[in-house]
Amino acid sequence: MINVTLKDGSVKSYEAGISVIDVAKDLSEGLARNACCGIINGDVADLRDEIKSDCELEICTFDSPEGKRAFRHTASHILAQAVKRLYPEAKLAIGPSTEDGFYYDFDDVVFNPEDFEKIEKEMKKIVKENLSIERFVLPRDEAIKLMEEKNEPYKVELINDLPEDEVISFYQMGEFVDLCAGPHLMSTKYCKAIKIMSVAGAYWRGSEKNKMLSRLYATAFTKASDLEAYINMLEEAKKRDHRKLGKELGLFCILDEGPGFPFFLPKGMVLKNTLLEYWRKIHNEAGYVEIQTPMMLNRQLWERSGHWDHYKENMYTTKIDDVDFAVKPMNCPGGMLVYMQEPHSYRDLPIRAGEIGLVHRHEKSGALHGLMRVRCFSQDDAHIFMTPEQIKDEIKGVVKLIDEVYTLFGFDYHIELSTRPEDSMGSDEDWERATEGLKGALDELGRDYVINEGDGAFYGPKIDFHLEDSLGRTWQCGTIQLDMQLPERFELEYTDSDGSKKRPVMIHRVVFGSVERFIGILTEHFAGHFPTWLAPVQVKVLPISDKYADYAVKVEKELKANGVRVETDHRAEKIGYKIREARNERVPYILVVGEKEAEENTVSVRCKGEDLGSFKLEEFVKDLTEEIENKTKRW
């Protein structure tokens, strides 16, 4: 007998060799119907895998990330089977799951969007056939022979590249067989909601030296209603696309003369500067000082920091006076030099040094995406230098600061703790102490978090904040990285209470992350309807005709005198047209003024398409300035 410890901590005893799916059946028929894969002692397992010794087991459904991947991986095989039925000459490449769905690459076939309906119809037929999905393994020579018989050269290449001791497994459903490590569902019948989203070209193995293949992107859900909701979300996301809104609202542009290097236009600069004014205010209140470090520093510095060895492929380099220089991809090495400019005592610590630093990183052209992925961006960095005893309190302070910011914008978020990667610097003891410091702070705050094994920075573990926007999409923005390596490399010191020299511990942290990317996220989150305090133009004054232009100017001057960003539309257009134009510009408040308003010193107020009625000018200005000052919403 073996003991299986379940996710809830309970222990069940079974005969050795029981499969994951049979454990699920023993627990609940409903669980077995919804099971997509398992996790045995932290490793993802196929439902068919046998459990031969004591272990910890989690049964994963579609609600879990691992379950979604297994479900959609099965859907990718259904897609490939449908294509092979319709286009027998097609050659199979690879078909992994992705964050939002899956794709499959094919050769010797070309797809058009008009083909999607026909392929989807065949996929539905395969699902309805309820084909059992069977796993089998073969020795290398037999595996190659099988794929050669089926005329699948890409599969043969993949087998030849596998390590000698690798188990070579296949999955079969009906007449279709595919080389695959799994995991998969037990049958095709569960993938009832599948949709092909797009077609694109993709180089085999991502190399432009190889042949261009045809890639079908698709997604799959357990229910048609969830698929429909996802498609509706994508349609809404298109309307909110920050690239589209950025152009319409005059915020930013990216030109052919500088791919990946955004130009901020006047209204975009108002938005960006307002965001940074808020950043400076809350950091000043939290005890930070602000610094600025050079954009370009010599190779010796980057070698000392470790970036030259670990990050050089992402850095822009040049020579000045025959010396290698690099444009900074990160602000931290410059922050080290600032700390070193004067001696420090334990009484000086913690030192919280913030920097809005412009950094440059080489990104491939295919990865560039509006403000979300650029080649230069402003990073709202801060480096906190502290004693080991101050670690938990400082991390807790940063967590509270990040929470304040995200709450202001209405973001929900979750926290991930990323541990030591394979490519890292430092001793086991340093990494253990750093990781425990982060865990301890989150535990003391009572914050939930998940462990992201092996995804830390090369110099230390980190806490990442993944915020959720109004469409339910997640974005990784804030991060806290505990670093015991750079202080060592730069030989940073402080004098302790006993007069001895000690090495400080350092935190790297950002709140927005990339300021440009955060603006892109905010643009899509609010669909361009920024909160009043942040909006580039907060009020638009619309005189009904030229007769009331003088009163409109009076209203504008009164608002400007109170620090409100206001514009007046003096064009000789009908008032209905002006209102529509102002609404399209996402201006929070539209003030219509005519004879009645001029006589009574009032304004007719509209907000988000709703007519709020008439307000005394003085009353409106008072309420508006309070809303802006307190960063609240009134309507």
> Could you list the active site residues?
332, 361, 379, 381, 383, 462, 508
Helix, strand, coil fractions of the chain, as percent rounded to 5? 40, 30, 30
Report the candidate in 355, 361, 332, 372 with the shortest Cα–Cα distance to residue 458: 332
* Amino acid in position 214: S
Q: How far apart are CA 462 and CA 442, in angstroms?
A: 12
Q: How far apart are CA 568 and CA 177, in angstroms?
A: 68
Cα angle 33, 35, 36 (rounded to 5 degrees) comes to 130
Q: Which helix (H) or strand (E) holds 31?
A: helix 29-34
**334 three-class SS:** helix
Is 513 within 8 Å of 379 (Cβ atoms)?
Answer: yes
What length is written for the chain? 635
Is 53 within 8 Å of 14 (Cβ atoms)?
Answer: no
Q: Which two tokens stand for residue 47?
A: 């439902």
* Amino acid in position 191: C
Q: Is the peptide bond between 183 and the residue preceding it cis, with omega within 30 degrees of 0?
A: yes
CA distances from 154 to 144, 202, 206, 213, 395 (A): 11, 14, 14, 11, 49
Q: In sequence order, what are the beta bridge partners of 507?
A: 384, 482
Q: Which two tokens stand for residue 243?
A: 């690239």
Cα angle 230, 232, 238 (rounded to 5 degrees) comes to 105
End-to-end CA distance of the chain: 64
CA torsion 36-41-43-46 (nearest 10°) is -40
Q: In sequence order, what are the beta bridge partners of 428?
A: none
Q: Which two tokens stand for residue 349?
A: 């610590």
**330 three-class SS:** coil
Q: Which two tokens stand for residue 510?
A: 């950002």
Residue 387 half-sphere exposure toward CB, CA atoms < 13 A: 14
**190 three-class SS:** helix
Number of H helices, E strands in the chain: 20, 34
